[in-house]
Amino acid sequence: MTSDIISYYFPELSPKQKEQFAELDELYRFWNARINLISRKDIDMLYLHHILHSLAIAKIISFLPGEKVLDVGTGGGFPGIPLAIMFPETDFHLVDSIGKKIKVVQEVALGCGLTNVRASHARAEQIDEKFHFVVSRAVTRLSEFYPWVKGKFEKKSMNTLQNGILYLKGGDLAEEIKESGLKTELIPLSKYFKEDYFDSKFVVYIPQ
């Protein structure tokens, strides 16, 4: 599968963005061979399982110039790297507690010429900044995740969507949401993408 699937779902991409998304295949294959971020089998599905999945957030919100977004537990840079390509005037801070993963994020960002990405080898609790949005992809249960980022939000919203968390998660989330006690909105990805992979996958939006 190629980067064409990204252009199919996001036809408004600029030539530069198309080029950056196309470059991700070679960059991730190169680094994945050295630091195993993605299973060898899954690397062939990079655009569907990782990049397009990350960009589900871009179907729900258009981040604005000057907004600040924190990606918690970014791993190899998901969802932060694809979102940073999509929103080049938004500031993204990608954090992970595993240093070798952050090394890959830094190299991938450099390789496709991203100037709006910072990557830190740190836990979310150690980040002493305020953000408009926090994004993440199935790092842990919401009840564990929320305390890591509570209090890290700018008070004033810039966007049509109130500042908050945009969390990519799959499966039956009813029990997990109930356990967290959080006010949430579940947005099914099948609303935007027709591939079977997105059945029973959601963005969980938690306004702050």
pLDDT in tens, 65-120: 999 999 999 999 999 999 999 999 999 999 999 999 999 999 999 999 999 999 99
Say what the pLDDT of residue 182 is.
Answer: 97
The confidence score (pLDDT) of residue 1 equals 83
Q: How many residues does the chain have?
A: 208
Per-residue confidence band for 41, with pLDDT thresholds at 50, 70 and 90: confident
What is the rounded distance in angstroms from the CA atom of residue 20 to the CA atom of residue 83? Answer: 12
How many other C-beta atoms are found inside a 10 Å radius of the C-beta of residue 96? 26
For 4-207, CATH gives: 3.40.50.150
pTM above 0.85, yes or no: yes
Residues of the chain with pLDDT > 70: what percent?
Answer: 100
pLDDT for 110 equals 98
- 45 pLDDT band, cuts 50/70/90, is very high
Please report the DSSP string for 92-138 in residue order: EEEEES-HHHHHHHHHHHHHTT-SSEEEEES-GGG----BSEEEEES
**What is the structure's pLDDT at 33?**
92
Strands 133-137 and 201-207, bridge-based pairing = unpaired
Q: Provide the pLDDT confidence category of residue 138 given band limits of 50, 70 and 90.
A: confident
